Amino acid sequence: MHRLRTTVARLRPLTAAQTAQGLPQPRPLEIKGGLRMFRPVRCLNSSAAAEPFLNGTSSNYVEEMYHAWLENPRNVHKSWDIFFRNANAGAPPGAAYQSPPPLNGTSQGLAGVQALVGAQPNVEKLVADHLAVQSLIRAYQVRGHHIAKLDPLGISCVDFDDAPCTVGFQNVGHHVAQLDPLGIMAFDLKTTPPSRIIASHNKLGLYGLSESDLDKVFRLPTTTFIGGNESALPLREIIAASRCVDTADHLSLFQAAYCQHIGVEFMFINDVEQCQWIRQKFETPGIMQFSLEEKRTLLARMIRSTRFEEFLQRKWSSEKRFGLEGCESLIPALKTIIDMSSLSGVESVIMGMPHRGRLNVLANVIRKELEQIFCQFDSKLEAADEGSGDVKYHLGMYHKRINRVSDRYITMSLMANPSHLEAVDPVVQGKTKAEQFYCGDTEGKRVMSILLHGDAAFAGQGVVYETFHLSDLPSYTTHGTIHMVVNNQVPGVRVQSYPRMARSSPYPTDVARVVNAPIFHVNSDDPEAVMYVCKVAAEWRNTFHKDVVIDLVCYRRNGHNEMDEPMFTQPLMYKQIKKQKGVLKKFAEKVIAEGVITAQEYEEEITTYDKICEEAYNRSKDEKILHIKHWLDSPWPDFFTLEGQPKTMSCPPTGISEEELGHIGKIAASVPVENFTIHGGLSRILKGRANMVSQRVCDWALGEYMAFGSLLKDGIHVRLSGQDVERGTFSHRHHVLHDQNVDKRICIPMNHVSPDQAPYTVCNSSLSEYGVLGFELGFAMASPNALVLWEAQFGDFHNTAQCIIDQFISSGQAKWVRQNGIVLLLPHGMEGMGPEHSSARPERFLQMCNDDPDVCPKPSEDFAVRQLYDCNWIVVNCSTPANYFHVLRRQILQPFRKPLIVFTPKSLLRHPEAKSSFDDMLPATHFKRLIPDDGPAAARPEEVKRVVFCTGKIYYELTRERKNRGMDGTVAVVRIEQLSPFPFDLVKAETDRYVNADLVWCQEEHKNQGYYDYVKPRIRSAIKRTRPVW
């Protein structure tokens, strides 16, 4: 009760008139920025109802009353006056108090009580008014963006529900609900103060306010910066008055902050500090100011952006170029982000973007030589290397240059991307993470990413969501990405007409809300607003290292491409677009009127840039050959020769010394940290490993340990990522040990192999295949000196990442001359899990191999390596731990990088026969592409009636059956361990040995699945079709 009354005293509103008339000790009226500002005034001689006598603990309050009374007894209420007089006269504690005198005369008692009761509704109104104003303020913060003028065409079709919506407890109450049955929920949601808010524009009545309240002065809550230095304002200035006001001069402060060309969506963020930060950036009066220099730079950038597209249009009017017309502000937007980031210490920016505006970004942001861009429009240009066609809008780029604003070097790379929209998002994240990792940038202060999106793709593609969900995971975070949505309000190529048909969310950006990324919607026809928003976004990223989204609301002046007729499907929109004055023109007129630049200077600037383009165009005619390798987003300069070739065409043996095997084996069987208690079951597993080491054998997990450990020892970073990879889905790996007594205490023995080893990263991923595989692919792009592996929990799950496999992994080199050594581990085997959950679908991977089934490559000394160099990827199914060990090491020791697909076993992980001796892993040993039969059949090959070729685990079933049937001497079982590139030479050698045998392929998969369709024609080619293959 005491608190409420104290608050009531503070909240009492004064009308502006009262304030100006000078009620007790009025403070001066100030004029600021054309707005009247009122200082708050404390009224201490308020009514008995407003200030009933307080007992108890309000010492501050009493003290204030006392000081006010000392100044002038009339400043305070009669009851306080009597109290202080009595107290000063020496009345004992408790005796100084007298009941308040009645307001209407001298009689006390009932009349006094009635007076209090009668005044109560005023108190309630007082409280209600202030709460209403707070609600209104919050409503602007929450929903101001709904009425912001974001659409440059003024025809926005996004229909926001104007019905009252309550937030507050309803919105954030779930943050404090006790949801975790264990009561140990680690997730710490900071709550915004719960309150009930009705957001609706110009509906004072809904808040219990009326026009007569507009001149009352209200104290501002601490959750707004709208008052600048003032802590109270008249309602009229806080919010929009009931009648619509058009000119900026007459806008209310909240309208100016939230309802103009910038719409800020942030109130869903559950961090008070972050919300306050954003409020300060957008509410502080006069905060959006630019220097003359900034305005000039902005104009120059707008000129480049606009004139570049116009130049292309003039020169190649009948070519597709996916131009930026209608969103020319994108270029200054990106450049502002890069300037700000460079100023704050960022040295490398990695970007991913779709086709629209890509050439402009290459020319004016990355600063690729213009002639290199123009020459690509020449149809006679020949490719010098293996890269393939239609790459103009897909090529990547890497460029280091001085940033003029910060005067510091900055490297910019634009990742090559496929047509599949948004597929590049996680790849950019992975590459960014890798660059951060390799330069020790643990907080993302030196390397950052920017992702550009189309509005339809951002809303529609699930990988956007998957990528957002990586953004705050320790092993996947890139410490904040700036997302820029080129929202031209045309959701699709040409078939769909309205956003209403393309998504179910009001904005295309709503997906970002799941990670609490603030969303800044901005009208792209206001370049200054765009620049401001970009500055804030860069500062946000630099301050909080979290994702942020800029929704650049624009339009598409042409169709999907320049050849398209948009009027077919969007007649009204395009009528409006035809009338729309270009943004450059509008902005130039504005800054010329402001005196920032003269009309003549403007024309000169245009002429200068046009001349630059013209000269580059002339030079471009000299380019006869297109070198796609000049368009690499991640060059590996020391890995190749200057000509971009492998330094050798041989691969050293992949075995390691006995001593090294023993040492790594010991680490794999130990807990290399003191006082660390592991689970009893795990102790048994480690003991089993120790036994194997003493017997000089490896099972699958130990073979993998040997490969990883030895590479780490040689300074090769190893990163293994995927769902449950730390333990291994089949509980065989256990690379991360957990202390059973200390929560979250872990130990990774692999990081204890050697003092100067490379770090080992093993990380359980989120439950995503598309996003995580894309991420790891990007990680593997950053450096050739890392073994990056992604393991599917079960092999069939790779199909949700099919886009990354099809678009990047299988075809990346052919399209972009881009090598990548990513390893896919795909548990495979028909082991009782049903038809859709057993197979990693080897047939699909084999179908995408580029080796010709009908052509046996010529035998040569470096046959095996050359075959690897020529293939698009390597597909293996190893039957022994030793071969798995070798193939992993070969990935790094071979002089180039190729993706490696490994079908890994399930039951073989614990199969007693699926073990390898150390002898098979010693120096001079290597990966066996084919393992011949080494039993009685091989000893007397002429007696063999049948050679059974197979791959993987079925070998063990075949040999058991052969033994059971007493056929060891008549049936040879040959394992093809490397399916692609196909070991034509070794298969031929085997068939030559068994001259009297028929040739059979055996697999556990159905005949139209598995390997049969791939191997059969190749075996036949290997033997020149001299014998049938069954």
Ligand X SMILES: Cc1ncc(C[n+]2csc(CCOP(=O)(O)OP(=O)(O)O)c2C)c(N)n1
In sequence order, the β-bridge partners of residue 352 are: 451
Q: How many CB atoms lie within 10 A of CB 1026?
A: 8
Closest separation in Å from C-beta 486 to ligand X: 6
Q: Interface with ligand X by CB under 6 A: which range of 244-252, 488-496, 923-931, 962-970?
A: 488-496
Residue 12 found at the interface with ligand X (CB under 6 A): no
Residue 356 found at the interface with ligand X (CB under 6 A): yes
Closest separation in Å from C-beta 402 to ligand X: 31
Binding mask 534-563 for ligand X (x = CB under 6 A): --------------------------x---
Q: How many CB atoms lie within 10 A of CB 408?
A: 13
Binding residues for ligand X, how many (CB under 6 A)?
Answer: 15
The token duo for 433 is 């993470």
Q: How far apart are CA 265 and CA 273, in angstroms?
A: 16
Q: Interface with ligand X by CB under 6 A: which range of 272-280, 489-497, 739-747, 892-900?
A: 489-497
Q: Interface with ligand X by CB under 6 A: which range of 188-196, 452-460, 574-582, 681-689?
A: 452-460
Q: Which residues lie closer than 8 Å to 36 by C-beta, 6 or more apart? A: 16, 29, 30, 234, 237
Closest separation in Å from C-beta 559 to ligand X: 10
Q: How far apart are CA 159 and CA 176, in angstroms?
A: 32
Query: Which of 420/545 has CB closer to ligand X?
Result: 420
Query: Which of 217/456 has CB closer to ligand X?
Result: 456
Q: How far apart are CA 635 and CA 633, in angstroms?
A: 6
Q: How far apart are CA 169 and CA 192, in angstroms?
A: 9
Residue 1009 gets the label, from left (phi > 0), alpha (psi -120 to 50) or beta, of: beta
Q: Interface with ligand X by CB under 6 A: which range of 417-425, 602-610, 828-836, 1000-1008?
A: 417-425
Closest separation in Å from C-beta 341 to ligand X: 24
State how far the alpha carbon of 424 is from the alpha carbons of 427, 449, 489, in Å: 5, 12, 22
- From the list 970, 976, 977, the residue with the least C-alpha distance to 939 is 970
Closest separation in Å from C-beta 703 to ligand X: 39
Query: Which of 257/424 has CB closer to ligand X?
Result: 424
Residue 421 found at the interface with ligand X (CB under 6 A): yes
Q: How far apart are CA 250 and CA 244, in angstroms?
A: 10
Residue 361 found at the interface with ligand X (CB under 6 A): no
Closest separation in Å from C-beta 375 to ligand X: 25
- From the list 281, 188, 268, the residue with the least C-alpha distance to 543 is 281
Query: Which of 129/466 has CB closer to ligand X?
Result: 466
Amino acid at 514: V
Closest separation in Å from C-beta 421 to ligand X: 4
Cis bond upstream, residue 121 (ω within 30) = no
Query: Which of 331/486 has CB closer to ligand X?
Result: 486
Q: How far apart are CA 672 and CA 666, in angstroms?
A: 10
Binding mask 48-87 for ligand X (x = CB under 6 A): ----------------------------------------
- For tokens 């306010």, the residue is 209
The token duo for 175 is 């943050």
Query: Which of 381/567 has CB closer to ligand X?
Result: 567
Closest separation in Å from C-beta 504 to ligand X: 16
Residue 492 found at the interface with ligand X (CB under 6 A): yes
Query: Which of 279/503 has CB closer to ligand X?
Result: 503
Closest separation in Å from C-beta 770 to ligand X: 11
The token duo for 129 is 């008014």
Residue 454 found at the interface with ligand X (CB under 6 A): yes
Q: How many CB atoms lie within 10 A of CB 199?
A: 23
Q: How far apart are CA 112 and CA 78, in angstroms?
A: 13
Query: Which of 390/638 has CB closer to ligand X?
Result: 390
Residue 491 found at the interface with ligand X (CB under 6 A): yes
Residue 306 found at the interface with ligand X (CB under 6 A): no
Query: Which of 494/590 has CB closer to ligand X?
Result: 494
In sequence order, the β-bridge partners of residue 349 are: 412, 448
Residue 630 found at the interface with ligand X (CB under 6 A): no
Closest separation in Å from C-beta 983 to ligand X: 37
Q: H helices within 651-793, ranges in order? A: 658-668, 680-694, 700-713, 770-782
Instruction: Tell me the residue number closest to ligand X, measured at CB.
Output: 454
- From the list 763, 724, 187, 778, the residue with the least C-alpha distance to 463 is 778
Task: Choose, by CB under 6 A, the member of 104, 280, 419, 618 that binds ligand X.
Answer: 419
Closest separation in Å from C-beta 514 to ligand X: 19
Residue 420 found at the interface with ligand X (CB under 6 A): yes
Q: Interface with ligand X by CB under 6 A: which range of 281-289, 448-456, 637-645, 677-685?
A: 448-456
Pairing of strands 519-523, 548-553: parallel
Backbone angles phi, psi at 979, to 5 degrees: -80, -40
3-class secondary-structure state, position 458: helix
- For tokens 């369709």, the residue is 1013
Query: Which of 33/462 has CB closer to ligand X?
Result: 462
Task: Choose, by CB under 6 A, the member of 37, 137, 312, 486 that binds ligand X.
Answer: 486
Residue 505 found at the interface with ligand X (CB under 6 A): no
Amino acid at 548: V
**Which DSSP symbol is given to 836?**
T
Q: Which of residues 228-257 bind ligand X (CB under 6 A)?
A: none
Closest separation in Å from C-beta 380 to ligand X: 27
Residue 488 found at the interface with ligand X (CB under 6 A): yes
Query: Which of 454/812 has CB closer to ligand X?
Result: 454
**Which DSSP symbol is given to 809?**
I
Residue 490 found at the interface with ligand X (CB under 6 A): yes
On the CB side of 930, CA atoms within 13 Å amount to: 24
Residue 771 found at the interface with ligand X (CB under 6 A): no
Query: Which of 296/420 has CB closer to ligand X?
Result: 420
Residue 655 found at the interface with ligand X (CB under 6 A): no
Query: Which of 362/826 has CB closer to ligand X?
Result: 362
Closest separation in Å from C-beta 457 to ligand X: 3
Query: Which of 482/490 has CB closer to ligand X?
Result: 490
Query: Which of 420/745 has CB closer to ligand X?
Result: 420
Residue 42 found at the interface with ligand X (CB under 6 A): no
**Which DSSP symbol is given to 220?**
P
Query: Which of 151/455 has CB closer to ligand X?
Result: 455
Residue 493 found at the interface with ligand X (CB under 6 A): yes
Q: How far apart are CA 866 and CA 169, in angstroms?
A: 67
Q: Sort 145 into a burial class: Cβ within 10 Å, 0-12 / 13-18 / 19+.
A: buried
Its sign, for the CA torsion 887, 891, 893, 897, is positive
Query: Which of 340/353 has CB closer to ligand X?
Result: 353
Task: Choose, by CB under 6 A, the member of 139, 414, 457, 777 that binds ligand X.
Answer: 457
Continuous segment of H or E residues that includes residue 930: strand 930-931
Q: How far apart are CA 1020 and CA 40, in angstroms?
A: 94
Q: Interface with ligand X by CB under 6 A: which range of 148-156, 236-244, 451-459, 950-958?
A: 451-459
Residue 974 found at the interface with ligand X (CB under 6 A): no
Residue 324 found at the interface with ligand X (CB under 6 A): no
Query: Which of 356/841 has CB closer to ligand X?
Result: 356
The token duo for 1015 is 């191997």
Amino acid at 971: V
The token duo for 969 is 């001497």
- Contact at 8 Å (CB) between 974 and 933? yes
Task: Choose, by CB under 6 A, the member of 456, 484, 512, 706 that binds ligand X.
Answer: 456
* Interface residues toward ligand X, by CB under 6 A: 356, 419-421, 454-457, 486, 488, 490-493, 560
